[in-house]
Amino acid sequence: MAIVFEQAKKPINWVGLLFIVFIVGFLIFAVYYLFFAPSPKLDIVLPPPLERASQIISITEFVNPDAVVNSTAFKRLRTYVGQPAIGVLGRENPFVRL
């Protein structure tokens, strides 16, 4: 009588297989959306301050500063705060006791 030895089958590692499938799927998804998907069309609506800034930037004519400084509206402005000055910066010798 002959003795038959069967080789043991290796079990399939389902967790590893699913992990590899997930990684490959994620890479395909990422490559598609980064390189091949059409870009969405966005309507950009600027807020009013940015629209005003774009209008100011587009001015190309030079404004003479003498016309502004010598105007009556500019001369009517009052000075509410004096010129900045350097205050007391500390003691002469900080290591002397008070």
Residue 97: band (very low, low, confident or very high) from pLDDT cuts 50, 70, 90: confident
- The answer to the question of residue 56 being in a domain is yes
Give the number of domains in the chain. Answer: 1
Measured distance CA(20)–CA(24) in Å, rounded: 6
68 neighbors 76 (Cβ within 8 angstroms): no
Q: How confident is the model at residue 25 (pLDDT cuts 50, 70, 90)?
A: very high
Residue 7 lies in a domain: no
Is a pLDDT exceeding 80 seen at residue 81?
Answer: yes
Q: Which domain holds residue 53?
A: 14-38+46-75
**With 80 as the cut, is the pLDDT of residue 66 above it?**
yes
Pull the structure tokens for residue 42: 């966005």
In a domain, 33, yes or no: yes
pLDDT band at 1 (very low <50, low <70, confident <90, very high): low
Nearby residues of 68 by Cβ (< 8 Å), 6 or more positions away? 74
21 is a domain residue: yes
- From the list 46, 63, 62, the residue with the least C-alpha distance to 54 is 46
At 44-54, the pLDDT tens digits run 777 888 888 88
21: helix, coil or strand?
Answer: helix
